[in-house]
DNA sequence: AGTTACTAGTGGTCAGACCACCAATAACTC
DNA sequence: GAGTTATTGGTGGTCTGACCACTAGTAACT
């Protein structure tokens, strides 16, 4: 593994892998050479090859199956965004921004879901709200999780989930009990334009 | 290094590093423990620690200086994007989530900024739009970067920046030229309620 | 005081040894 | 013959120990 200028072996391995994939026209799902074979062919230590593969795995470009092999993977950006977000969240004191941003995403989810919410969905949401076993926080989570799933925007939901988990460690909040029912009312009355104002007016309850 | 559910050691190391960073309130530029020290403290092999650090280095979260140590780094995604782009361009069925989510954040930024936009700000934004030196894409970026800064929500801006960089690698888009001026018009006329519809009606231009 | 040589600590890399896991095959049982 | 079980080879997962190269601080020298 010799490279022009001061490049670490594992970075060289990555470039060689890219070339290999391109050359053999590999698609997601296809198998990559084994670590030992790569090590031998690229004249690099197996540990260096692993450093490269682990890095690619971390950002979701490659999938590893114990005892089977390493496979090219259908890339999903949210995996990387998720990882980076978690670092970004910890790096700065943006705890204050967290709650606010999260609320924005919940609002957008509510609006996005609007066109896909049917009568049974509303009934289902009511069931969530009326569950005796769960507390207000759990209800909030379940309620919006349902809405996020309706949006069919996986990235949006991932980011929200992440923020939700972080917010629990910082400052939990929820809406007034009546808020959720007001939203459901808007759904059943097909009143899209009132969703935004509803969120704006709602004062959060911290606990 | 023992973890609850089937987690690779290097993934555990990353999580421990995140905890360490948060606990000691480390900021970009600060030094991380040496590989050998981490190895000992986390009871993991040095090679596993390296797999974790190399992965973090690859995506630019950490900087390594031979003979010195490993340092936390201000995140710059250039290398990540560059790396991912070659893989991503093979598949375009996931770009929708990204583009859509990004647009949502831009809309919210525009609305959040509303209350903080003054006449000089509008003038400044016009200057950005009329800059001859920059292309439409750069203008879009600069324009919204200005708005995001006005929101004073660092988290929101960080996430947007992240998505913006990723979207460039996947599918660049911008709005119609007239869109930006329409938004400025709403600002100067203090017409908050029309911002949302403006975004909804706007058709993106892909290139 | 300034220069040089040394040294301890760090990352960079490799080789080898196990282990755990999986899948295909072989051997066995009925 | 069909179904089960044991074997085996290949794979990733991990650790250890050994070098090398580099850096910065220190000691020794001039």
CATH number at residue A125: 1.20.120.530
Structural domain includes residue A169: yes
Q: DSSP string of A141-183?
A: HHHHHHHHHHHT-HHHHHHHHHHHHHHHHH--EE--HHHHHHH
pLDDT value of position B126? 94
Q: Which of residues 10-29 of B touch A (CB under 8 A)?
A: 10-11, 14, 18, 21-22, 27-28
Structural domain includes residue A174: yes
User: Do B142 and B50 sit in the same domain of this protein?
Assistant: no
User: Do A144 and A169 sit in the same domain of this protein?
Assistant: yes
pLDDT confidence band for A91 (50 / 70 / 90): low
Least-confidence region, from A2-6, A148-152, B97-101: A2-6
The CATH number of whichever domain residue B36 belongs to comes to: 1.10.10.10
Mean pLDDT to the nearest integer, A110-126: 93
Closest Cα in chain A, distance from residue B177 (Å) = 25
Per residue in B41-89, pLDDT (tens digit) is 999 999 999 999 999 998 888 999 999 999 998 765 555 655 555 555 4
The crossing angle, in degrees rounded to 10, of helices B177-188 and B119-130 is 170
Q: Which domain holds residue A47?
A: 9-72
CA–CA separation, A94 and A76 (whole Å) = 26
Q: Give Cβ neighbours of residue A153 (< 8 Å, ≥ 6 apart).
A: A112, B97, B100, B101
Instruction: Give pLDDT < 50 ranges for chain B.
Output: 1-4, 89-93, 207
Give me the percent of chain A exceeding a pLDDT of 90: 46
- In chain B, what residues touch A66 (CB-CB under 8 Å)? none
Q: Check: CB of residue A125 under 8 Å from CB of residue B195.
A: no
The DSSP symbol for B54 reads: H
User: Do B127 and B200 sit in the same domain of this protein?
Assistant: yes
Across the A:B interface, residue pairs with CB atoms under 8 Å apart total 134
User: Do A48 and A98 sit in the same domain of this protein?
Assistant: no
Nucleotide nearest to B40 (CA to C1'): D15
User: Do A197 and A100 sit in the same domain of this protein?
Assistant: yes
Closest by alpha carbon to B58, among A71, A37, A53, A19?
A: A53
CA–CA separation, A59 and B61 (whole Å) = 12
Q: DSSP string of A56-88?
A: HHHTTSEEEETTTEEEE----HHHHHHHHHHHH
Structural domain includes residue A90: yes
Cross-chain residue pair A97–B155, CB shorter than 8 Å? yes
CA–CA separation, B5 and A206 (whole Å) = 33
Determine what percent of chain A falls in helix, strand and coil, rounding each to the nearest 5.
65, 5, 30
CA–CA separation, A25 and A29 (whole Å) = 12
User: Do B68 and B95 sit in the same domain of this protein?
Assistant: no
| Angle value at C-alpha B78, between B94 and A81, nearest 5 degrees | 40
User: Do B96 and B189 sit in the same domain of this protein?
Assistant: yes
User: Do B114 and B33 sit in the same domain of this protein?
Assistant: no
DSSP-based three-state secondary structure for B82: helix
User: Do A15 and A95 sit in the same domain of this protein?
Assistant: no
Cα R_g (chain A), whole angstroms: 23
Structural domain includes residue B196: yes
Closest by alpha carbon to B22, among A181, A89, A126, A23?
A: A89
> Is residue A84 over pLDDT 80?
no
Q: Which residue has the higher pLDDT, B54 or A5?
A: B54
Cross-chain residue pair A159–B101, CB shorter than 8 Å? yes
Structural domain includes residue A1: no
User: Do B65 and B96 sit in the same domain of this protein?
Assistant: no
Per residue in A58-67, pLDDT (tens digit) is 888 899 999 9
Average pLDDT, chain A: 83
Per residue in A157-179, pLDDT (tens digit) is 877 876 776 666 555 677 888 99
Per residue in A185-206, pLDDT (tens digit) is 999 999 998 998 898 876 655 5
The crossing angle, in degrees rounded to 10, of helices A77-91 and B154-170 is 150
Closest by alpha carbon to A110, among A205, A206, A199?
A: A199
Last residue of a domain, one of A45, A72, A99: A72
User: Do A85 and A28 sit in the same domain of this protein?
Assistant: no
pLDDT value of position B129? 92
The DSSP symbol for B193 reads: G
User: Which residues, in sequence order, are bridge partners of residue A69?
Assistant: A65
Q: What pairing do the DSSP bridges indicate for beta strands B173-174 and A205-206?
A: unpaired
For chain B, the maximum distance between any two Cα atoms, rounded to a whole number of angstroms, is 63
Structural domain includes residue B80: no
pLDDT value of position A3? 37
Q: Check: CB of residue A47 under 8 Å from CB of residue B59.
A: no
HSE, side-chain direction, 13 A CA sphere, residue B49: 19
User: Do A139 and A57 sit in the same domain of this protein?
Assistant: no
pLDDT value of position B207? 46
H or E element at residue B17: helix B9-23
- In chain B, what residues touch A28 (CB-CB under 8 Å)? 90-91
DSSP-based three-state secondary structure for B63: strand
> Is residue A39 over pLDDT 50?
yes
pLDDT value of position B37? 94
Nucleotide nearest to A66 (CA to C1'): D12
A207 touches chain B (CB under 8 A): no
């Amino acid at each position: 593994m010799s490279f022009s200028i001061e490049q670490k072996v594992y970075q060289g391995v990555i470039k060689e892998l890219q070339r290999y994939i391109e050359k053999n026209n590999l698609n997601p799902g296809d198998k990559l050479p084994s670590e030992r074979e790569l090590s031998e062919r690229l004249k690099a230590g197996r540990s260096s090859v692993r450093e490269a593969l682990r890095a690619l795995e971390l950002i979701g470009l490659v999938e590893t199956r114990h005892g089977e092999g390493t496979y090219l993977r259908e890339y999903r950006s949210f995996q990387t965004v998720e990882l980076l977000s978690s670092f970004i969240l910890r790096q700065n004191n943006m705890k204050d921004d967290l709650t606010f941003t999260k609320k924005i995403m919940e609002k957008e989810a509510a609006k996005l879901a609007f066109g896909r919410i049917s009568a049974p969905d509303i009934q289902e949401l009511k069931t969530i709200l009326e569950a005796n076993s769960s507390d207000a926080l759990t209800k909030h989570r379940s309620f919006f999780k349902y809405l996020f799933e309706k949006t069919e925007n996986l990235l949006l939901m991932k980011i929200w989930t992440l923020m939700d988990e972080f917010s629990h460690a910082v400052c939990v909040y929820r809406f007034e009990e009546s808020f959720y029912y007001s939203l459901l009312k808007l759904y059943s009355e097909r009143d899209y334009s009132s969703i935004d104002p509803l969120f704006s007016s709602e004062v959060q309850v911290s606990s």
